[in-house]
Amino acid sequence: MKKIVIIGGCAAGPKVAAKCRRMNKENEIHLYTNEKIVSYSACGLPYYIEGIVPKIENLIIRTPEEFRDAGINVHLDHTCTKIIPDEKAVIINNEKVRYDELVLCTGARAKDVKIEGGHLKNVYKLRTIQDGIAIKEKMKTAKTAVIIGGGYIGIEILEALIANNIKVTMLEAGEQILSNFDNDIAKIIQNYIHKKDGDKVEIREKTKVDKIVGKDEFVGIITDSGEVIEADFCIVATGVMPNTEIASEAGIETGRSGAIRVDNRMQTNIEHIWAAGDCCEKHCLITKIPMYISLGSIANKEGRVCAINVSGGDEKFEGVLCSFVTRYFDFTISTTGLTEQHALEYSKFINIEPISATVKKHDRAGYMPNTNEITLKLVADKRTGEVLGAQAVGKGDADKRINIATSALKSKMTVDELINLDLTYAPSFGTPIDPLLEAAYKLKKIIDTKRHS
Amino acid sequence: MKKIVIIGGCAAGPKVAAKCRRMNKENEIHLYTNEKIVSYSACGLPYYIEGIVPKIENLIIRTPEEFRDAGINVHLDHTCTKIIPDEKAVIINNEKVRYDELVLCTGARAKDVKIEGGHLKNVYKLRTIQDGIAIKEKMKTAKTAVIIGGGYIGIEILEALIANNIKVTMLEAGEQILSNFDNDIAKIIQNYIHKKDGDKVEIREKTKVDKIVGKDEFVGIITDSGEVIEADFCIVATGVMPNTEIASEAGIETGRSGAIRVDNRMQTNIEHIWAAGDCCEKHCLITKIPMYISLGSIANKEGRVCAINVSGGDEKFEGVLCSFVTRYFDFTISTTGLTEQHALEYSKFINIEPISATVKKHDRAGYMPNTNEITLKLVADKRTGEVLGAQAVGKGDADKRINIATSALKSKMTVDELINLDLTYAPSFGTPIDPLLEAAYKLKKIIDTKRHS
């Protein structure tokens, strides 16, 4: 019988707890969270704000009672402040709690806002259930908002606000929104947002926020060029950072990314201390270089692998491909692997020569009523033809093609092998030669031409 | 300058012609078809009958004029009756036509009906544009129909008829409808049809048709147990057979399947004679055994490869995975690779020990409004863990998962490798752990248990 202590209650923590329970009926399992609820879908918060998900309770995956019924001790409102590896103990709400195995699922938080005025009332971030409730409440009486940050959380909040008739100014410090896409693809997304909702949304790239202004309450922001933008409220969505302070203080190694370093069994450098989810560094299967990404799908998989190993099994989590999907209303935004831009940056460190091809195609037979276009960009290594990444966006079924590419990436498939892949076809579902295969063929021709020239 | 003669005008033929043109501007290209139109989507015919595709013209991909404008000589209503390889000539409409390269894209036809009464008026098959027009016309004045055959064409016609308020009796001679699915999965499809349209459809398995009766016009059918089923019209959808007569007579080799044998460059056993599409035998990438399947997606890919080789290039078509999708209204029916039943049959010839796991899961986050269930069955080889096939059906997004499995099959991915595949996730698109990965995990556990027992 072992005592397993898990710190963190959103995605990975509850997954570890539930899986540890299924693996072994004897072990004593304790799940501690500093929140007032446990096991919820943070990814669903934008849709709660939008109103598609009617009640916040809908986002709760398992209640504390369900965990307790399964024999898992859930401790809400309990904050872990210190890990003492030598004593195999943690300090939680000022009390010492001993463990046999400790699992850190401390997650990530919105990046510390260093903008002056970030503390003002009506300045929000979106990470927890409480954040979601607060934004939804504020939205009811507001007409205008500023979103700081054009990443995917920014885009998801944008949909929620636009659907509720809020006029939005989105400010992006970088060259483009959605930095996990190439600039040409990000532009297509942005054009769609403008085409659909140009009267309600203004997106400004290369615009840094100098300060947030207001007396007690938010009044507006001042850009680095001195311009003032007023609004009823503000959401800061400038990305997340892993919660690793208590880990670092205890001598648990973190990587260059700042996240906790784990091996492929989710073990940290200290014996009997494990980690999973958004607090962990990831291993990129393409570059083999450690990196950081925060996604619920990865947290769940890491949690499962971690639980098996904590329970005495032997399972490996090989790494990630940074596969990602979101939407702006009916417009799908999806990617896997490296963008061309990222591949070019990595080509300084690893032996690749990135090259790309883009196609714009129907997602289904052109004569079917539910047909829409997608734009698909495929990136490969010119030398080997190996697929390096794919991006697909549009009102059509883009995500399907990206997941095929994900599987191809995992197997190190070449463009040549991809071209004749026997994908399903029927008029309601695709085209005789799928857009992904069209892109592969186009890319192969480019590669062949460059090889011969 | 070469003279390229292509026989067949539906999918593969036009693809070969168009691609040959793009490959080489000098060659003389002739496309002969015994139909009155060329280059159309036969796969779209059920949706024309249903009324989703408003006009038959919508199904035409390229008109004869467009081909002629591209410098391709299109000959409608021209039937090829003989190939004379020694003279490098064919007999078309009683005239001798010489070729430098001959490409056979003669397609497939509805299996010759050997049922007594198959010639009667109001007994239809669905293969050509003319068939589609005739069925749609008949449907306008009819109230009841019999469909003989529960394959995918039968199911697609069923949707078309039910949508037009025709009461249908479907008769299937075999144990189950849709023989490219396992019995347990076919049952789920059939249950859905009954649940949705039980008042309009009766499906009878293990029911052979003894004869079709009527004086001049169709009146009804008599089953082998002597039962009479009357209806206003009848559609025979008992499968297709390749059109290979002229090829066989000329000494072109056909395989055990009856279809034309080609190498991976789409060349027949006779020099300068090529073949592509539904008239050709296929190479199964999993079993490595020749087989026959008739699908537009494969015809297009073979056509492209064939055209490149005919034009002097060097391209290979490695083979098929029998990936397939169709629908019954909002219910998706999709598969790739081997069913468990087929894998068991093949295990007499090849070294596999098939084993399967089935999961029933949401296709998206449970709290999203557009969430539906899918049932997914994954088949793998117990000894190696290699994926052998997958079937997914349901009102949810089943096809996405099947195409991921297709890519995995092509790469000979094992269940272990599949489990942690980094698929995209967002509440509108999937679940944190995808149903396909859930099935892989379930299957891995079964394999592990059996290995240890």
Distance from chain centroid for Cα A241: 12
Closest chain A C-alpha to B325 CA, distance in angstroms: 6
**CATH classification at residue A371:** 3.30.390.30
8 Å CB contact of B367 and A43: no
Closest chain B CA to residue A315? B416
CB-nearest to B422 from A43, A327, A406 is: A406
From A43, A80, A280, A322, the catalytic residue: A43
With CB atoms and an 8 Å threshold, state whether A411 touches B406: no
Question: Of A241, A242, A205, which Cα lies nearest the Cα of A223?
Answer: A205
Cross-chain residue pair B420–A59, CB shorter than 8 Å? no
Structure tokens at B78: 């021209």
Biggest alpha carbon–alpha carbon distance for chain A = 71
Range of the domain at B391: 334-452
* pLDDT, position B453: 64
Is residue A285 domain-shared with residue A347, that is, in the same domain? no
Q: Is A111 buried (19+), middle (13-18) or exposed (0-12) by CB count in 10 A? A: middle
Judgement on whether residues B300 and B404 belong to the same structural domain of the protein: no
Which residues make Cβ contacts (< 8 Å) with residue B94, sequence separation at least 6? Answer: B81
Residue B442 C-alpha, separation from nearest chain A C-alpha, in angstroms? 13
Query: Pairing relation of β-strands A354-362 and B209-213?
Result: unpaired
Q: Are residues B150 and B175 in the same domain?
A: yes
User: Is residue A321 domain-resident?
Assistant: no
Residue A343 — left, alpha, or beta (φ > 0 → left; ψ -120 to 50 → alpha)? alpha
Taking an 8 Å cut-off on Cβ atoms, the answer to whether A298 and B422 are in contact is yes
Task: Check residue A453 and give its pLDDT.
Answer: 64
Mean pLDDT of B103-122: 89
Q: State whether B301 and A399 contact (CB < 8 Å).
A: no
Supply the pLDDT for residue B449: 87
Rounded distance, CA A332 to CA A68, Å?
39
Structure-token pair, residue A217: 């309450």
> Which residues of B have a catalytic role annotated?
43
Q: Kind and range of the H or E element at B409?
A: helix B398-410
Clarify whether residues A386 and A446 are in a common domain. Answer: yes
Distance in angstroms between the alpha carbons of the first and the last residue of chain B: 67
CA distance A229 to A207: 12
Count how many domains chain B has. 3
Write down the pLDDT at residue A115: 86
State pLDDT tens for residues A354-399.
999 999 999 999 999 999 999 999 999 999 999 999 999 999 999 9
Nearest beta carbon to residue B428 from set A11, A298, A327 = A327
Q: Which residue has the higher pLDDT, A112 or B354?
A: B354
| Res A113: pLDDT | 65
Fill in the DSSP letter of residue A370.
T
> Which residues on B lie below 8 Å from A423 (Cβ)?
297, 323, 403, 406
Name the band, by pLDDT with cuts 50, 70 and 90, for residue A173: very high
Q: Does residue A316 lie in a domain region?
A: no
Please say which residue of A181, A203, A238 terminates a domain. Answer: A238
The predicted-structure confidence for B409-429, as pLDDT tens digits, reads as follows 999 999 999 999 999 999 999
Average pLDDT score, chain A: 96
User: H or E element: which one contains B197?
Assistant: helix B183-197
User: Do the domain assignments include residue B102?
Assistant: yes
pLDDT single digits (tens) A1-51: 999 999 999 999 999 999 999 999 999 999 999 999 999 999 999 999 999
Nearest 10 degrees: Cα torsion B131, B132, B133, B135: 80
User: Within this chain, do residues A91 and A9 fall inside the same structural domain, yes or no?
Assistant: yes
Instruction: List the structure tokens of B195.
Output: 């649940």
Asked if B43's CB is within 8 angstroms of A425's CB, the reply is yes
CA A69 to chain centre: 31
Band the pLDDT of B113: cuts 50, 70, 90. Answer: low
| Structure tokens, A80 | 């872990």
Evaluate if residue B451 carries a pLDDT over 90: no
Residue A112 has pLDDT above 80, yes or no: no
**A296 contacts on B by Cβ (under 8 Å):** 425, 432
Report pLDDT digits (tens) over B346-372: 999 999 999 999 999 999 999 999 999
pLDDT in tens, B215-248: 999 999 999 999 999 999 999 999 999 999 999 9
- Percentages helix, strand, coil for chain A (3-state, rounded to 5) are 30, 30, 40
Q: How confident is the model at residue A114 (pLDDT cuts 50, 70, 90)?
A: confident
B411/chain A closest Cα distance in angstroms: 6
Q: Is the same domain home to B190 and B277?
A: no
Q: What is the ipTM of this complex?
A: 0.96
> Using CB atoms, which residue from B53, B402, B426 is nearest to A367?
B53
Q: How many CA atoms are closer than 13 Å to the CA of B143, on its beta-carbon side?
A: 1
Read off the tokens for A357: 């091809």
Give the H/E segment covering residue A19: helix A12-23
Closest alpha carbon to B243 in B119, B128, B135, B338: B128
B211/B284 same-domain check: no
**Better pLDDT: A440 or B450:** A440
CA distance B123 to chain A (A): 26
**B150 in a structural domain:** yes
Question: What pLDDT digit, counting tens, does each position of B180-189 carry?
Answer: 999 999 999 9
Quick check: A295 pLDDT over 80? yes
Asked whether residue A320 is assigned to any structural domain, the reply reads no
Q: How many CB atoms lie within 10 A of CB A206?
A: 12
Tokens 């417009």: give the residue: A331
| Same domain for A133 and A103 | no
Distance between A75 CA and the closest CA of chain B, angstroms: 24
Asked whether residue B79 falls in the same domain as residue B22, the answer is yes
Give the domain-ending residue among A220, A238, A256: A238
Single residue among A207, A238, A269 that ends a domain in this structure: A238
Question: Does A111 have pLDDT greater than 90?
Answer: no
Q: Mean pLDDT across the stretch A318-331?
A: 98
- Decide if A297 and B433 are in contact by the 8 Å CB cutoff: yes
Contact A427 B47 (CB under 8 A): yes
Compute how many other C-beta atoms are within 10 angstroms of the C-beta atom of residue B25: 7
Q: In what order do the strands lie in the sheet with B80-84?
A: B80-84, B89-92, B95-98
Which of B112, B129, B139 minimizes the C-alpha distance to B50? Answer: B139
**A344 min Cα distance to partner chain B (Å):** 22
CB A261 within 8 A of CB A245: no
Mean pLDDT of B133-157: 97
Per-residue pLDDT tens over the stretch B16-56? 999 999 999 999 999 999 999 999 999 999 999 999 999 99
Residue B332 is predicted with a pLDDT of: 98
Q: Is residue A115 part of a domain?
A: no
Same domain, B103 and B202: no
> Which stretches does DSSP call E strand in A70-129?
72-75, 80-84, 89-92, 95-98, 101-104, 108-110, 123-124
Do the beta carbons of residue A246 and residue A106 sit within 8 Å?
yes
d(CA B6, CA A441): 23
Mean of the per-residue pLDDT values of chain B: 96
Instruction: Say yes or no: B92 and B129 in one domain.
Output: no
CA atoms within 13 A on the CB side of A453: 7
Pairing outcome for strands A72-75 and A28-32: parallel
Q: Which of B378, B406, B422, B423 to mutate to test the interface with A (most CBs of A within 10 A)?
A: B422
* Pairwise CA distance, residues A95 & B448, whole Å: 42
Copy the structure tokens of residue A303. 């949690």
Give the mutation candidate from B57, B330, B424 for the A interface (greatest A CB count, under 10 A).
Answer: B424
Q: Which residue of B has its CA nearest to A57?
A: B367
CATH number at residue B130: 3.50.50.60
Question: Could you confirm whether A43 is annotated as catalytic?
Answer: yes
B325 located within any domain? no
Cβ–Cβ of A433/B317 closer than 8 Å? no
Share of chain B above pLDDT 70, in %: 99
Q: Give A300's contacts in chain B (Cβ within 8 Å).
A: 432-433
A35 and A131: one domain? no
Whether B44 maps to a domain, the answer reads no
Instruction: Tell me the C-alpha distance between A299 and A260, whole Å.
Output: 13
- Number of A to B CB contacts under 8 A, please give it: 200
Query: According to DSSP H, which parts of A142-204 are helical?
Result: 152-163, 183-197
Bridge pairing between strands B201-204 and B209-213: unpaired
